[in-house]
Structure 1
Amino acid sequence: MQLGITGNIDSEEGVSSPNNLLFLGFHGYGNDESEMVRIINAICGTNDADSANGTNSYGTSAPDDNTATASSTGNTATTPVHSPITRRTNYLSFRAPHARPYIGGHYWYPDGCSVSERRRACTEIGDSVVKLLDTPAFGRFRKVLIGFSQGGYLSYRMVAEHPDVFDAAILLSPSFKGEAASEPPATRTRFALCYGTADHTIPAADQQCARAKLTATGNCTVFEYPGMAHAVCDQEIADLRAWLEL
């Protein structure tokens, strides 16, 4: 299994992001690591001045400047490349291991696969990410998972299987199929769960399941956006910034 990683890590203490956060980004089906870079930098207030460091106003990485491939087998992963995008935002954004050969983009697990296949894929990726984080370089950070759609479900499974690793998990319109019979995770992790009222990509029953499981943890804030489809909106960005106290 190979995970592409793009990232920015401040090597000096005292110059890291507000609240000493390290974002760990997981994109949606058919996208790549740049999707979460844009969202993370929007939440953290990256502005046009960063274009001089290889980004545009949305925080999208300039091509070929800062992407490395991290190879993993089982529970191993290599150290990511450190890219000088901004000294304010510390993040690692991951690219899914499966590429769509004709129409582009990547995915974490096949669309329409079984619950057991989906969980198995999430376990393999989660174990690799947790092993990567188990180094002194990452010990000083508060770790925040953030994922959209498939990446949101992956983030949820990572908390469920590693309940003591992550400080927060932001689940943006997560897929949640097959979780109705599972127990809510026993974890200290704070959750932010976001859906749009016009999201017809994620079935209503799965959205309701996600709300039930996460609110049962006693540590979840649910955000709902009238008229938003399977997407991310400006108000969502503002709400998450406030939720993180940035």
Structure 2
Amino acid sequence: METSDYPEQDGPNKTKRGTYRVALDVPWRVDGAADDPEAPVVLCLHGQWMEEDFFALLLQKLHDLPFHFVTLRAPYPLKAPNENKIGASWYPYDGDRKRFLHELALTEGFILGGLETVERALGLAPRKRALLGFSQGGYCGSFLALRHPDRFHGLIVSGARVKTEALEDEMRAAAQSGMRALLCHGTRDRSVPLEAAQRSARGMNDAGVATALLEFESGHSIGRNQVRAIGEWLEEWS
């Protein structure tokens, strides 16, 4: 939280502020039909209020493909008051754009560290990587992948928009690296309007990132038809 968010009171008090680091053990899982440690890795980032097992269940039809599907749990636990509902979030969000970009940059470090932990633990040395993010996972995942085209060669975003206005230089660098992208969106999505995904696709293509947009007769969800289309895209991309 920035100092300016809460005005300091007049008086003799001299306020000092800083941050401290918290180490957390956050679960992960890996699925897929790959035996080859050099097979492609697909990093999967779930939406807010989800966790790794639920997201892996939604994507289970992909797990017959010869990839390593690495699914991380987001680091911020959530629990709804007076409800038997738990999940996780990739970042706190209060609507402030500057703080949002700051939180995305922090989350980037968490995710890259988690991926490195998994690959090291399982001895994976993938010849290429893709990132698949849904909803909140799509927001932070697209931010991460486009800023690191040396690590990610493909990007799949479902139910989210890409922050193209904050990533102009990064998109051009990703285009030069040969990154390709797939955006999937429901025509009845009330959380993220379809028009936002359409603008994202135009912005990415204008920057040179080869981007396809697929529209589905659905709401804010990642259903069977989307998963099937994602699988076909991954097979062609690999």
Residue 221 of structure 1 aligns to a residue in which SS? strand
1:203 matched to 2:193: yes
1:31 matched to 2:50: yes
1:182 CA displacement: 4.2
CA-to-partner distance for each residue in 1:24-63, whole Å, 9 max, x for gaps?
11110111112331244322338xxxxxxxxxxxxxxxxx
Query: Partners in 1 of 2:164 and 2:180 — Cα distance?
Result: 19
2:99 pairs, out of 91, 114, 117, with: 117
RMSD of aligned alpha carbons? 2.8
Distance 1:120 1:111, change over 3 A: closer
C-alpha contact (below 8 Å) 2:187/2:194 kept by paired residues: no
C-alpha contact (below 8 Å) 1:32/1:105 kept by paired residues: yes
Give the alignment of 1:125-204 within 5 angstroms. Answer: 125-133=107-115, 137-176=123-162, 179-180=164-165, 182-183=167-168, 185=171, 186-187=173-174, 188-204=178-194
C-alpha contact (below 8 Å) 1:44/1:241 kept by paired residues: no
Which structure has greater helix proportion? 2
1:235 matched to 2:225: yes
Structure 1 residue identity aligned to 2:202: A
1:142 CA displacement: 2.0
Structure 2 residue identity aligned to 1:94: L
Structure 2 residue identity aligned to 1:38: L
1:45 matched to 2:60: no
Query: Partners in 1 of 2:142 and 2:25 — Cα distance?
Result: 18
Residue 132 of structure 2 aligns to a residue in which SS? strand
1:158 CA displacement: 0.4
1:107 matched to 2:98: no
Runs of at least 5 residues in structure 2 that lack an aligned partner in the other structure: 1-21
1:175 CA displacement: 4.1
Runs of at least 5 residues in structure 1 that lack an aligned partner in the other structure: 47-87
CA-to-partner distance for each residue in 1:151-199, whole Å, 9 max, x for gaps?
01111100222121112111111144x6446416121322110001111
Q: What TM-score results when the alignment is normalised by the length of structure 2?
A: 0.71
State which structure, 1 or 2, has the greater radius of gyration over its C-alpha atoms.
2
C-alpha contact (below 8 Å) 1:27/1:36 kept by paired residues: yes
Identity of aligned residues (%): 21
C-alpha contact (below 8 Å) 2:91/2:107 kept by paired residues: no
Distance 1:209 1:104, change over 3 A: same
2:204 pairs, out of 201, 205, 214, with: 214
1:128 CA displacement: 3.5
Instruction: Indicate the structure whose relative CO is greater, using CA pairs within 8 Å and at least 6 residues apart.
Output: 1
Distance 1:235 1:155, change over 3 A: same
Task: List 4+ stretches of structure 1 deviating above 4 A.
Answer: 131-136
